Chains A and B, each alone.
Chain A
């Protein structure tokens, strides 16, 4: 089970934002990788990968996005929120497949 908090947040442009994701099991693989990813789903679009293997930014993802954590507790941080960051953020575990499991989602809106 993946549990995200908060479920929604409202942020002023230029301010930081942080989303937490807790897993019911360790996501540390025997190869040393942590199999936790973060996605952003913008309105009307499919999800897009932001972060994979805990802290690696996917191609083209701005460096204001960062992932951290260990074991069962993880955080996605946006250093300075921009208007284009609006949408729903999901964490996802892929250490135990099947199944892949997603968090409930965190809705980010701009103040």
Chain B
């Protein structure tokens, strides 16, 4: 059973930045990509982006261009998704998912003044 563990819920003010972490204890990444997906309250799934296993390559949905940064710390085998210039519409549960197969539990992010 592959376990994917994300960081806890966050409350942010508009204009601030967010950094969500994601780990898969004991999982060995070879060719698998880490995807980030978000889900606004009561809404469907929205793909944010992905990062390669080595962290050297990333791609994101066009609407997040310039605001999202995805990284991997190979020393701790932890993946990060950073989203800047937050607005109320960024309020959502953010998921990481290995190859969109194994999903984390989700991180609730609330953007509110």
Q: Which residues of A contact B (CB under 8 A)?
A: 37, 39, 41, 46-49, 52, 58, 88, 90, 92, 94, 97-105
Q: How many A-B residue pairs have CB under 8 A?
A: 50
List residues of chain B with CB within 8 A of the CB of A102.
44-47
B residues adjacent to A (C-beta < 8 A): 35, 44-47, 49-50, 59-62, 95, 97, 100-101, 103-106
In this complex, what residue of A is CB-closest to B96? A46
When C-beta atoms are compared, the residue in chain A nearest to B43 turns out to be: A105
List of B residues within 8 angstroms of A100 by Cβ: 35, 47, 50, 100
- Residues in B neighbouring A101, C-beta threshold 8 A: 47
Structural contact, B101 and A46, CB atoms closer than 8 A = no
The answer to whether A90 touches B59, judged by C-beta atoms less than 8 angstroms apart, is no
Given A46-B104, A46-B106, A92-B100, are A97 and B45 neighbors across the interface (CB < 8 Å)?
no
Per the bound structure, the CA–CA distance linking A38 and B9 in Å amounts to 27
Chain A neighbourhood of B105, CB < 8 A: 46
Q: Is the CB of A47 within 8 A of B45?
A: yes
How close is B97's CB to chain A, nearest CB, in angstroms? 8
Are A99 and B47 within 8 A (Cβ)? yes
